[in-house]
Amino acid sequence: MMNVLAVGCHPDDLEIGCGGTLAKLAAAGHRVTMAHVASGDKGHRVIAPDELRRIRGEEAQMAGRLIGAEVISLDEPDLGVKQDTDALIRKLTALIRRVRPAYIITHPPEDYMKDHMEVSRAVFDASFAATVPHYETEGGSAAQDGVVPIYYMDTLAGVGSLPTEYVDITDYMELKIQMNDCHQSQIKWLREHDGIDFLDFVRTVSKFRGLQCGKAYAEGFTQCRAWPRLTTERLLP
């Protein structure tokens, strides 16, 4: 059994990008940890930040419970995630050292808004720092033994994204929809702010990725190709 750490930016990003894969991993008995870096506090036109931060934290917990995943918030403010902040890297490093993942799933380095990209780069940095004993973090966990692989989710709406890895999530599609459905504040916001039917949006992307690889529903990923994160886990194919 593996420990898998997924790090999204906002409370619903993991559900959108890799909810089916996480559900499948959890169903296979792996231990899944879902972290979101930003509290999502500014993700609504009306609800005030403090109130929204609380609501979205609860929504994320609810979604995680559906698959038995631990849910963690790093509680950075929306539009204020900064990779180059020592405090954020240390929080992420401490998390990685505690979870000790076999690999990490996060946002790709280029995405549709800055906070997502900052998370991607912060995860890249922290997962290296996690292996350096003299880089100290709270909580007392020892340094990791090796730098772990990172898999990047699709960008939002798959713009500019050409997956090299596909995970068949056909059997977990409805569970993925339920996980996304937990994020009621966001679903309403997107409907009002951008005129987007969020659940249909999520389903369409998964269906599109599915027809690319011959399944009903799938999620696409790319691998972070940096030394020493390359793997030889499988014999082809």
DSSP 11-30: TTHHHHHHHHHHHHHHHTT-
| Cβ distance to its own copies smaller for residue 98 or 109 | 109
Residue-wise burial string across 185-216, b where 16 or more C-beta atoms lie within 10 A, e elsewhere: bbbebbeeeeeeebbebbbebbeebbeeeebe
H or E segment to which residue 31 belongs = strand 31-38
Residue 60 C-beta: closest distance to its own copies, Å: 19
**Is residue 228 a contact residue for its own copies (CB under 8 A)?**
yes
Contact between 137 and its own copies by CB under 8 A: the answer reads: no
* Minimum gap (Å) between residue 4 Cβ and its own copies: 8
Spell out, one character per residue from 72 to 111, where the chain touches its own copies: x when CB under 8 A holds, - when not.
------xxx-x-x-x--x------------xx-x----xx
Measured from the CB atom, is 155 or 180 closer to its own copies? 155
Quote the crossing angle between the two packed helices 13-27 and 173-181, to the nearest 10°.
Answer: 140
Rounded Cα–Cα distance for residues 236 and 220 (Å): 18
Nearer to its own copies, 94 or 105 (CB): 105
Q: Which of 70, 158, 181, 188 binds its own copies (CB under 8 A)?
A: 158
d(CA 54, CA 49): 9
Residues within window 19-78 making contact with its own copies, judged by CB under 8 A? 21, 24-25, 28, 41-46, 48-49, 78
Size of the site for its own copies (CB under 8 A): 84
> Distances in Å between the alpha carbon of 145 and those of 37, 225, 233?
24, 19, 18
Which listed residue (61, 166, 181, 199) binds its own copies by CB under 8 A? 166
| Three-state SS at 170 | helix
Q: Which stretch binds its own copies (CB under 8 A): 54-62, 68-76, 160-168, 178-186?
A: 160-168
| 167, 173, 175, 187: residue in contact with its own copies (rule CB under 8 A) | 167
Nearer to its own copies, 70 or 125 (CB): 125
We find the least distance from the C-beta atom of residue 151 to its own copies, in angstroms, to be 6
Shortest separation between residue 65's beta carbon and its own copies, angstroms: 22
Closest CA to 35 of 10, 52, 17: 10
Other beta carbons within 10 angstroms of residue 2's beta carbon come to 14
